[in-house]
Amino acid sequence: MSKRLLCFPLLLLLSTLFLTQCESLQGLKGPTTPRSTSGNSSTSQIRKNVVSFAAEQKGVRYKYAGRSPRTGFDCSGFTHYVYDAFDVNLTPVSRVQEDEGKRINLDDAQAGDLIFFRRSATGPVFHVALVVSQSPGNLTVIHSTSSRGVIMENIYASSYWRTKRMSARDVISR
């Protein structure tokens, strides 16, 4: 029997293993289609895409200084990761992110904008979240929390979050 015939089953097995491993890693590499904030996309479509991609990360665990779905996220590592997939440069530090983009009124925050939290009016920023939607009495965000990882919640319904001083930034329209 020739060497070629002997190698074929081994090659077939290795190919199958490789393809199986690639499929299992698919969700860890970022967006499945190229995404960008430039080009022909309208700002509202970009905002929808940002929120959709952020929502794909729900359930990823919390990790201090984490910036990857494989290892986990902290709050600013999460927003940095999401916007990096759309070629928007954000520093992976929440208190610095608050100075990036354009300051907006909290009541004007839209899907894809960032919300920042302080424990007091003059205190430093300690947390950042990404807006999913806003309506009267509802400000739904997606964020990485130390107790629950990446979650989506209405922060106005949370006794913890609604008491924190908030500000907002638009990092899409800049």
Q: Where are the domains of the chain?
A: 41-170
Residues 102-155: tens digit of each pLDDT = 999 999 999 999 999 999 999 999 999 999 999 999 999 999 999 999 999 999
Alpha-carbon distance values, 160 to 117, 118, 145, 156, 164 (Å): 11, 12, 12, 9, 7
Confidence class of residue 22 from pLDDT cuts 50, 70 and 90?
A: very low
Q: Which residues contact 7 (CB under 8 A, 6 or more apart)?
A: none
Residues 7-20: tens digit of each pLDDT = 444 444 444 333 33
pLDDT at 99 exceeding the cut of 80: yes
Residues 36-45: tens digit of each pLDDT = 554 446 899 9
pLDDT at 62 exceeding the cut of 70: yes
The count of other CB atoms within 10 Å of the CB of residue 31 is 13
Confidence class of residue 34 from pLDDT cuts 50, 70 and 90?
A: very low
- pLDDT on residue 68: 96
pLDDT at 51 exceeding the cut of 50: yes
Instruction: Place domain 41-170 in its CATH homologous superfamily.
Output: endopeptidase domain like (from Nostoc punctiforme) (3.90.1720.10)
CA-nearest of 45, 57, 36 to 143 is: 57
- pLDDT on residue 14: 40
- pLDDT on residue 41: 64
CA angle 112, 31, 35 (to 5 degrees): 60
First and final C-alpha spacing in the chain: 68
Q: How far apart are CA 80 and CA 73, in angstroms?
A: 10
- pLDDT on residue 19: 33
- pLDDT on residue 81: 98
Residues 163-174: tens digit of each pLDDT = 999 999 999 986
pLDDT at 60 exceeding the cut of 60: yes
